[in-house]
Structure 1
Amino acid sequence: MPADTALAELTERIRAARADKTPLDIRGGNTKAWYGEAPVGTPLHTSALAGISSYEPTELVVTVRAGTPLVTLEASLAEQGQCLPFEPPRFGAASTVGGMVVAGLAGPARAAVGGVRDYVLGATLLNGRAELLSFGGQVMKNVAGYDVSRLLAGSMGMLGVLCEVSLKVLPVAPATATLRFEMDEATALQKLNTWGGQPLPLHASAWWEGTLVLRLAGAAAAVQAAQATLGGEVVEVPMAAAFWDGLRDQSDEFFVGARKAVDGGASLWRLSVPQTAPPLKLSGEQLVEWGGGQRWLCTSAPAATVRDAAAAVGGHATLFRGLDKSAGVFAPLKPPLDRIHRELKRAFDPDGLFNRGRLVRGL
């Protein structure tokens, strides 16, 4: 379907929904329906709004429509030796670029390169009045006033229908190496903090069940020098690639086991804490990423116990997967942030049509 036709159909659907006061559940590939609070409303599909609008490899910028499959975009970038540096999780071939942006999730390299919002340059959005709005552009220094395009990253579709987005991309690192170390969690965290303060090309890390895996990436000379400095067991390239892809797409052993546990009544939590935080004394199984800054916890412990433990070290906890969401998926917002969320929702979606309650209950 031509982009103009798809956009016109979406616009008419929004106008009709506004007239009828019908809530809309925005869907791309529908691969993350489990994430966030329960979807509400009539499905509004964006998959017809697909295709790469423009791509300038020499400028490191791509503009792509929201319904474009993520695998399609990454394949086009790979042909030019480029990538999305933040390694967004691919929860299946149907995952879309729009879903990637509004979910705001990033993979193993997040601590080294930044998150989704750091690579959003501009966006177009259909708001709750069925108006097509444009924000930002195709260069980094183009923002005057409130940076709405980056605000869309992690918004869970609560502000409107993302139609198109311009993203900064980067060349694939010329050299990588993966190292493995046997050590307990406390030692791993101490090592990661020490190494993080040194001029080393650290790119990703993961600790689980007594094993720390470290990825180096950058210039070949820098990677080789870091290998000599750090030591450890070198992981062969095919095995390393499979490991990091499995971690990125949450298809590795930890996450497969966690999903089975969730089906049995446990919960998978995503804890965002300072990298310097000590090991958290919580029951269940943990996987530590991002130099200690992201800690996955599969547990049957009460939500209050998990959130209190995260808050005690200066972080917060999100219920990533779980059958029981009665305690809320996202950490409760402090009053000033709650007010900002509600005012933004009213400004962009005054009738509360889009993804009602997916990010903040009552919105």
Structure 2
Amino acid sequence: MPQAIIDQYKAVICSATENKSSLQIRGGGTKHFYGNPSFGQKDTLLDTTAYSGIIDYEPSELVITARAGTRLVDLETLLAQHGQMLAFEPPHFGANATLGGCIAAGLSGPRRVAAGASRDFVLGTRLLDGRGGDLRFGGQVMKNVAGYDVSRLMVGAMGTLGVLLEVSLKVLPKPPIEITVQMPMDEAAAIEKMNQWASKPLPISATCYVDGVLLLRLSGAESAVRAAQIKLGGEELAEDRDFWQSVREQSHDFFQSDKQLWRLSIKSTTAPLSLPGKQLLEWSGGLRWLLCDANSVDQDLIRKTAKDAGGHATLFRSDAFRTDVFHPLDPVMMKIHRLLKEKFDPSGIFNPGRLYSEL
């Protein structure tokens, strides 16, 4: 049955190539809002949810391999039964979120600051390229990742390089205990404290600054967490799991707005940004969410501000039609992207324009 599904995908790819049409690759559709709209005039939907299920999971090895159509909630439920988790805490944005969509979007949640990004945990991938070729990269152990790490190219590629079939991920044990402390302070003090504490051996697994309050999640052995709680001070937050989920899934009150939502990834030590709008800070100040009216601030100013702070800006959500969601690439990087696109998708049928209008 799984091979029959792959054969169907191959047939769809070959047909699109012959007919010079494009393919919208989509899993659960929970992140369809993210990225540029596809530019294809004759798009055919390639639904990847049929190819689902766990292929291999050995808890003692801390590695899981699953098909791209597997729902994230099902994968995480299985891991939780063995006291394990996806370390990068990916957002779902809906019950139908899939593993393939998670990897294609390349988004990480609150634990990113302590554990690493989604691409750091990808060990191997299997995909179909623009010729219908069935390709495998990487493996199920870190030592197999040598030379050009092609598997991790798929992370954040928005489906522009191929149809993900399978993904092998490194997983981690869930911490024995987690608590969250909160303390009121201004933004400048919060940025200073977050970076100061990040350089110390403290079990901080997530940070958030919103509405004049700094929140720190402490994770690990109970003795270490309790000792850090005493050292840091602050008031313990009840129902802290709900809070971090609301940040991860953007159900927190901050995100309940029809204004443009920008995602600025910058140096964590950057002073408070003087941009109009409201901000929420994560990752010790390295990730800053900005809510602003579309007409109140020029997007060139936002991108310049992010660039000057050593990072980039992404228009994460907007009701307006847009073709420039992601930060523009310099000519050298764009050339590399084009060469990769030509190698994996020579006919340009996969999600055209979804990442950059030139691809």
Q: Normalising to structure 1: TM-score of the pair?
A: 0.96
Q: Which moved more, 1:200-209 or 1:310-319?
A: 310-319
Q: 4+ runs of 1 displaced by more than 4 Å?
A: none
Deviation at 1:327, TM superposition (A): 6.4
Give the distance between the partners of 2:246 and 2:146, measured in 1 at CA: 40
Picking from 56, 63, 68, the partner of 1:54 is 56
Q: Does the 8 Å CA contact 1:177/1:234 hold for their aligned counterparts?
A: yes
**Which secondary structure state, in structure 2, belongs to the residue aligned with residue 98 of structure 1?**
helix
Unaligned runs of 5+ in 1: none
Q: Does the 8 Å CA contact 1:23/1:352 hold for their aligned counterparts?
A: yes
Aligned partner of 2:343 in structure 1 is 347
Give the distance between the partners of 1:98 and 1:302, measured in 2 at CA: 34
**Which secondary structure state, in structure 1, belongs to the residue aligned with residue 337 of structure 2?**
helix
In structure 1, give the amino acid aligned to 2:332.
P
Q: Does the 8 Å CA contact 1:303/1:327 hold for their aligned counterparts?
A: no
Deviation at 1:143, TM superposition (A): 2.2
Give the distance between the partners of 1:291 and 1:142, measured in 2 at CA: 32
Q: Does the 8 Å CA contact 1:207/1:289 hold for their aligned counterparts?
A: yes
Give the distance between the partners of 2:357 and 2:156, measured in 1 at CA: 15
- Count of aligned residue pairs for this structure pair: 353
Deviation at 1:221, TM superposition (A): 1.3
Picking from 175, 179, 201, the partner of 1:199 is 201
Unaligned runs of 5+ in 2: none
User: Between the two proteins, what is the percent identity of the paired residues?
Assistant: 52
Q: Judging changes above 3 Å, is the alpha-carbon distance between structure 1 residues 78 and 254 closer, same or farther for their aligned structure 2 residues?
A: same
Q: Does the 8 Å CA contact 1:112/1:203 hold for their aligned counterparts?
A: yes
Matches within 5 A, 1:154-233: 154-233=156-235
Matches within 5 A, 1:5-154: 5-39=4-38, 40=40, 41-154=43-156
Aligned partner of 2:267 in structure 1 is 274
Give the distance between the partners of 2:343 and 2:326, measured in 1 at CA: 22
In structure 1, give the amino acid aligned to 2:14.
R
Give the distance between the partners of 1:65 and 1:333, measured in 2 at CA: 32
Give the distance between the partners of 1:327 and 1:158, measured in 2 at CA: 15
Q: Does the 8 Å CA contact 2:123/2:145 hold for their aligned counterparts?
A: no
Give the distance between the partners of 1:325 and 1:151, measured in 2 at CA: 27
Give the distance between the partners of 1:255 and 1:211, measured in 2 at CA: 16
Give the distance between the partners of 1:4 and 1:93, measured in 2 at CA: 26
**Which secondary structure state, in structure 2, belongs to the residue aligned with residue 141 of structure 1?**
helix
Give the distance between the partners of 1:230 and 1:326, measured in 2 at CA: 44
Give the distance between the partners of 1:81 and 1:197, measured in 2 at CA: 28
Give the distance between the partners of 2:93 and 2:5, measured in 1 at CA: 24
Q: Which moved more, 1:319-328 or 1:297-306?
A: 319-328
Aligned partner of 2:304 in structure 1 is 308
Post-superposition CA distance 1:179-228 (Å, at most 9, x none): 00000110100111111111101100100110111101111111111011
Give the distance between the partners of 1:105 and 1:217, measured in 2 at CA: 21
Aligned partner of 1:319 in structure 2 is 315
Deviation at 1:36, TM superposition (A): 0.3
In structure 2, give the amino acid aligned to 1:357.
G
**Which secondary structure state, in structure 1, belongs to the residue aligned with residue 320 of structure 2?**
coil
